[in-house]
Amino acid sequence: MIQGPGPRIYLNELHGAYVNSMRLVIQRVIEARVTVNNDTVGSIRKGLLVLLGISRADTTAAADRLLEKLLTLRIFPDDDGKMNRNVAESGGALLIVSQFTLYGDCRKGRRPSFDQAAPPEQAQALYEYFVEAARQGPVPVETGVFQAMMQVHLVNDGPVTILIDSDDLKKNQSRPPMNANEHG
């Protein structure tokens, strides 16, 4: 393990480095749906399409941090058009889709390496944990099908697309409060 100012990195002689971070790509949508073999398996109207990537080093603690951030993220407009409401306050829902390709490493060669992605058994357990925890929250939750070939259809609203890594959240926990003069 390498420790330093950045994220913890685990070295593997055969496959390079592993970043210790669960990853979300969040898209604010007017509507979204996931189909498998032309059958709709999950759909929402207004809300968030969440692409969830799980790395080899991820834990339930990382999932808990990301879910808390996801549910409280203020990226929906208030009455003045400012991004000031979270998904629950806006009357939205979540569509959560597992996506190991978020860990595609394209630094070498022409074919992405997915060595940083968690193996299927580990990824499925953490994906199911994340989904079940989300279902305990304040908004409806729909999903894709783990390890299925899916088609994701969406109408992005804004567009608003946000990327969050769980390690980034740990770094900000010790950050001092912002001054009144800083913008947040």
Count structural domains, the chain.
1
Catalytic choice (27, 99, 116, 143): 99
Q: Is residue 71 part of a domain?
A: yes
pTM as predicted = 0.83
The percentage of the chain sitting over the pLDDT mark of 90, rounded to a whole number, equals 77
pLDDT at position 16 is: 45
The closest alpha carbon to 134, from 64, 86, 47, 30, belongs to 64
Joined tokens for residue 158 = 């804004």
CATH number at residue 100: 3.50.80.10
Spatial separation of the C-alpha atoms in residues 25 and 75, rounded to whole Å = 13
pLDDT at position 172 is: 59
pLDDT at position 147 is: 95
Residue range of the domain that includes 42: 21-172
Burial tier of 183 (Cβ tally within 10 Å: 0-12, 13-18, 19+)? exposed
Per residue in 46-84, pLDDT tens?
Answer: 999 999 999 999 999 999 999 999 999 999 999 999 999
130 as an active site residue: the answer is no
Q: Is residue 6 part of a domain?
A: no
Q: Is residue 104 part of a domain?
A: yes
Beta strand 47-53 pairing with 23-36: antiparallel
pLDDT at position 166 is: 86
Residue ranges, the chain, pLDDT below 50: 1-18, 175-184
Catalytic choice (59, 60, 72, 101): 101
Catalytic choice (100, 116, 130, 143): 100
* Helix, strand or coil, per DSSP, at residue 70: helix
Q: Is residue 10 part of a domain?
A: no
Q: Is residue 11 part of a domain?
A: no
Joined tokens for residue 84 = 């000031």
Q: Is residue 16 part of a domain?
A: no
99 as an active site residue: the answer is yes
Q: Is residue 69 part of a domain?
A: yes
101 as an active site residue: the answer is yes
pLDDT at position 182 is: 44
Q: Is residue 46 part of a domain?
A: yes
pLDDT at position 12 is: 38
